[in-house]
Amino acid sequence: MIIGADVGGTFTDVVSVENGVLRTAKLPTSSPQSTAVTDAVRQLSGGETIKALVHGTTVATNALLERRGAHTMLITNRGFEDLLEIGRQDRPSLYDPFDDRPQPLVDRADRFGITPGDPLPDVTAAASVAIVMVEGHVDASAEQHYRELVEAAAPDVSVSLSSRVSPEFREFERLSTTVLNAYLTPPTAGYLADLADELAAGRLVSSVAVMRSSGGLMAIRDAAALPAAVLLSGPAGGAVAAAAVAGELGYRSIISFDMGGTSTDVCLIDDGVIDVSYERSIDGYPCRLPSVGIHTVGAGGGSIAWIDAGGALRVGPHSAGAQPGPASYGKGGRLPTVTDANVVLGRIDPGATLGGSVSIAPNRAVEAMGDLGARLGLPVPEVALGICRIAEEVMAGAARTVSVDQGADPGRAHLMAFGGAGGLHATAVARLLGMAGVIIPRHAGVFSALGLLLAPPRADEASSILVDSSEGLDDVRSRAASLIASTTAEIVSSGHRPTRTELWVDVRYVGQAHEVAVPWNLHQTFDDIIEGFESIHMRRNGFKREGDPIEIVTVRAATFGPSPATIDAFAGPGPEGTSRRYHRTVRSAAGTEVEAVVVPRDELAVGASLVGPAVIEEAEATTFLDVGERCVVAPNGALEVTW
């Protein structure tokens, strides 16, 4: 047996597979997260030792968002102490003077500028130290020297070196990434150690791997030392699973749409390839580690509806979370949420037990909507419809960010919707974007946890270089060979067999400030690199400067091991064939009351079709088909929805 456990803001989703038998569990997320994970593992394993646990965690993300990281000190070159605050001197929003950059994670008094050879500053009061020398990406000796001094003076203090975390040029981004890593190391390492101890005490798991932001797995010890690499741990699993299911169905262009309790994550998968970026901003802090190109918005089932200073109805980004949760959970929550709106509209069964553990209290949802409606001067059903429409517009905006803003046309893509709430809003979002259709995979409510088991072990390395002609290509090949050796060794040391290696080179026109990653192999020529670069540049920016000189500035390598499972392992049993349909009154998007057929998903056989209004229910998720929308069950059990 192997188990994938994905911790979300509201629920912890768990999937196990053993000899082709798939089981799932959905528990409210606990504090600490490890409690729900351990309970779920014990529940699915029957208390016996399982082969492996693959974990998607939000502990690093939450520590950053809530500013609960460690007391961190920075050691850098004299004169560069304020670089963390100066940044690139750009503004987060050009026309919003009140939108400020986030406060530095290291206070000014804790930033020490030195000249190499100076004595070590007093670091004994810190929990973590970031060491970033301006030339650290080409010469790591000074950073390593000061690490040895820190370890001798304060053995319990964790140390992050830029030459290890992000050995690339651009000193500000390297500094920001290293500080992020130092700030997050103590809470992340502490959580992972506690989880490992709990699992070991119960003899529940033989090995634990953690999902990294790039869509691959890393050993738990590596995740503890490099927490900046797991900031998008959970959402990356959903993208991996979405790509696998889309491949089964023959769809080359999709947007994955993961709507959970706290947020919605979207990601472009074009031509079967998940978009992976090598520099992104996490809550305003640049992070130069590879990550799946996910865009997140604060619109989930638990997102709270509120009225702003101008009297307008708003939804999110604040969430009711797992405690107290939406008003309809009956756990003391009084503020109306998207989930409450769906209960009021009849799209969620008022007698349901979500995830097998949370019983719906419909009267609480009506009360919460009534309080908001009284302030807006609107009846309860209109408030509920308004909440859904606003949330859908926010989510459609996120999908535009990963498609239109990247030069991709959503009109030729399908929306792959999952998460506990994804199927309730997928068709509305897709229609706002003019998309080709919607796909609802099987096990949609725990789909990201399933994706964890499909992800391969992965090791990433990068090295900066400057080559502007074919004469320097041998240097690029030599650097790539060194990176391949390093990533291969990392995969082997984590107990896996290397299966393949992929290479990229970061390329730009001479004089450009930003570059793009171009897939490459050791046998390709400089002209091949130019052709690949111009093709990507044309697609993303709408033009190319044919004949203009280019330069290679970074070489990247990723080595992969075998995935814990394949998509075939999740085929599962067919439909039960029993008729358990009934009808329930729901409100359509037009606001009218209609009689919708309610169908258990396990009743729908391959090839079966259904026309809305309809509600399709399964243990962990619900799908709503509005009037005139039609779904057909694909050979792999996914619902293909058109209109």
Residue among 518, 563, 511 nearest 540 (CA): 518
CB burial of residue 35 (10 Å; 0-12, 13-18, 19+): middle
Looking from the CA of 376 toward its CB, the CA atoms found within 13 Å total 22
CB burial of residue 29 (10 Å; 0-12, 13-18, 19+): buried
Mean pLDDT by 10 residues, the chain (643 residues): 87 87 85 88 86 91 88 96 89 82 93 92 95 94 96 96 95 96 96 91 89 94 94 89 93 93 89 87 90 88 92 89 86 92 94 76 93 94 96 94 87 94 96 96 92 95 94 96 96 94 96 92 95 92 91 97 85 61 94 95 91 92 95 94 96
Q: What is the pLDDT of residue 416?
A: 96
What sections of 519-588 are H helices per DSSP? 526-541
**Strand-pair category, 593-600 with 582-587:** antiparallel
**CA quadruple 270, 274, 278, 280: dihedral positive or negative?**
positive
φ/ψ of residue 41, rounded to 5: -60, -45
Residue among 533, 561, 243 nearest 414 (CA): 243
- What does each C-alpha distance from 310 to 18, 93, 377, 390 come to in angstroms? 55, 21, 15, 16
Residue among 59, 66, 61, 52 nearest 29 (CA): 59
Contact 337, 348 (CB under 8 A): no
Beta pairing partners, 594: 586
Contact 196, 220 (CB under 8 A): yes
The rounded distance, in Å, linking the Cα atoms of 558 and 215 is 11
**What's the N-to-C CA distance of the chain in angstroms?**
40
Looking from the CA of 275 toward its CB, the CA atoms found within 13 Å total 24
The rounded distance, in Å, linking the Cα atoms of 5 and 12 is 7
Question: Residues with Cβ < 8 Å from 152, sequence gap 6 or more?
Answer: none
Q: What is the pLDDT of residue 355?
A: 61
- The DSSP output letter for 457 is B
Q: What is the pLDDT of residue 571?
A: 63
Cis peptide before 362 (omega within 30 of 0): no
Q: What is the pLDDT of residue 597?
A: 96
Cis peptide before 227 (omega within 30 of 0): no
Q: What is the pLDDT of residue 357?
A: 67
Contact 591, 502 (CB under 8 A): no
Q: What is the pLDDT of residue 18?
A: 86
The helix/strand/coil state of 395 is helix
| Tokens at 228, concatenated | 């900046």
The rounded distance, in Å, linking the Cα atoms of 624 and 338 is 14
Domain regions of the chain by residue span: 69-185, 304-383, 458-562
For 458-562, the fitting CATH number among 3.30.1490, 1.10.3470, 2.60.40, 3.60.90 is: 3.30.1490
Other CB atoms within 10 Å distance of the CB of residue 485: 13
CB burial of residue 586 (10 Å; 0-12, 13-18, 19+): buried
